[in-house]
Amino acid sequence: MVNSAARKLEKERIDKGDFPKEDISWSSVSLSEILERDNRLEASTFNINRDHAIQLLKNSKYELALLGTNEFGFKDCFYGPRAKRNYLTNIDNTSIGFLGSSEMLDIFPNPVKFVSPDNPMINSLSLTEETILISRSGTIGNITFVNKSLSKFLVSEHAIRLVMNEFPGFVYTYLKTDVAQNLLHAEKFGSVILEIEPEAIKNMLIPNPPVLIKQKIHDLIIDSYCKRDESNDLINEATRILIDALELPPMEDMEKEAFSYSEEISSFPVKLSELNGRLEGNYYTTVVPVIEKYLSKNAELFRLRDKKITDKIILAGVFKRNYVQKGQGYPFIGGKEITQLSPKTDKYLSYITHKKRYEKELRVKENWILVTDRGTIGKVVIVPKHMENMAISQNVLKIAPKIYPGYIYCFLNSDYGQLLIKRQSYGSVVNMIDNSCMGDVQVPILKNRKIVEKIDSLVLKANELRYEAYKQEQKAINIMNNDVLGL
C-alpha cells in the first residue's frame, strides 16, 4: 500500500522551489528511496556524494555485484564484543599488545597497552592474516589489511573485520577508493559519535571485473604488505644488533639497579650540579644515568644537537593555516598520520600564503627523522621517499641527520631511546618537547663503525622497501580507479 502510494507520488510533479545552489548542497529524495533505505531520514544517508558514487558504478564498464553474495562472498563480517580489558602494568614476553582503530593503521604497530594471554576477550579480538579491517566509529572508513606484523596483536571492537572467501586484496583496494568511501559514509549514524555497522558493508555495490584483473590487484596488495613485513623485520633485526652491540641489559634490570626502595616511597638524591634548570620529578628518574652508563661502555655519547651528527632540529612555529583545494597547496600531515605508510589528508596549505614557512619549517626530506612533540610524545618515523616534500605540522619535530640517519632512527625508536626522549618532556595538561630539549637527548655512536654502518644500512633498506610497498598499493588503486571504475 505504502509502496504504491510512493510510486504514485513520484509520478506527480512536485515543485521543489528555488534553492541557492552555490551556498548549500541539496538533492531531492523520493519516498521509495526512503523506504529502500530502511526509513532512515538522516541527510547523510541521501547525500549527493553517495548518489554520485552509485552513478559512477552504474556507468563503469563491468557488471555490478553485491558484497556478501556469490561473486564476492565472505566468510564473516563482524566486530568484537565490548569487554573489560584489564590492561597489564607489568609486561613480559607472554603479554599481547592491544591496538585501537587508529593504531592499527601504523606501518610498524607499536602497542602501548597489553593484556594477559589468559584474557577471555583474546579469541574475539585476535586477527588472522588477509582480514580487512574497517574503522567503524569516530573516524569512519579507515582501511587496513592484516599482515604478519599486525596479526600478532589484538584490535579493539571499533574495527569491523571482513574475511573474504577470495580476492581480499581486490576488495581492500576498492574500499579505499573515493567511490566506496562515499558509500560507507552514507551509512553512518549517531549524534555525538558517528558509527557504522557491518550491514554497511554487506550488500555494498562493487564492480565485478574479470578474474585476471581481480587477481592482479589482489597480488599487488599482498606483495605490498609482504614488503611492509620485510621492512619491519629489518628494523627489528637492526634494533637487536644495536642492543647486543651496546650490551644493554633489559630495562627491568636497569630499573632494579637504579632504584633503592623504602617501605613507603622510592627516593633518590639529586646533586645541585645535575639540576640543569629542570625541577620536574620525571626528568630526574635515576634509570637514565644507568642507561647512559651502559651506553658509554662501547660507544661515544653525542647530544642530538651536536653538529657532528645532526645538521638541524626544526620546531615549526604556530601559525594560522590557509587551507585550499587539492592541487592548489602543499599536502599537510599531522602527527597522527606520519606513522602510516600512505598518509591520507584532505588538508592542503596554500602555495601562496605558506611558501616561506613551508620551505623553512614544514618541508621534509627523505631519511629525515620525525618525532611527535606534544600529546603522545616520542613517536619516531624515518621519512620514506614518497613522503618527501610533504608539509608536516608544528606538532612534529624534524631532525636532519648529518650522518647515519638509519642508525640514529634505530636508537631513538628503541625502548632506551624512547625513555631518553620522554624524560625531556614538560608541561602540565598537555606534555610537550621542544627542539632544545630534543637536542639534549644522548645518542650513542658505537666505536665499531662497521656495526654502525650495518645497522644504518638495514634501516635504510627497510625505508626503501616501504617506498616499494607504497608504489605497489598506489598501482593497485590506479588500476581500480582507471581500468575498473573508469574514473
Looking at 3.30.365.10, 2.60.40.10, 3.40.50.2300, 3.90.220.20, the CATH number of the domain 299-446 comes to 3.90.220.20
Grid cell of 226 as nine digits? 609482504
Name the CATH topology of 66-211: Adenine-n6-DNA-methyltransferase TaqI; Chain A, domain 2 (3.90.220)
Rounded to whole angstroms, the Cα distance separating 89 from 115 reads 9
Contact 304, 423 (CB under 8 A): no
pLDDT digits (tens, 9 = 90+) for 209-222: 999 999 999 999 99
Contact 325, 297 (CB under 8 A): no
Lowest mean pLDDT among 1-10, 383-392, 436-445: 1-10
pLDDT digits (tens, 9 = 90+) for 59-88: 988 999 999 888 888 899 999 888 777 888
pLDDT digits (tens, 9 = 90+) for 17-27: 555 555 556 66
Domains in the chain: boundaries: 2-65, 66-211, 299-446
Q: Cα separations (Å) of 34 from 3, 199, 463? A: 11, 17, 50
Is-same-fold flag (66-211; 299-446)? yes
Rounded to whole angstroms, the Cα distance separating 43 from 29 reads 10
Confidence of residue 278 (pLDDT cuts 50, 70, 90): confident
* pTM of the shown model: 0.87
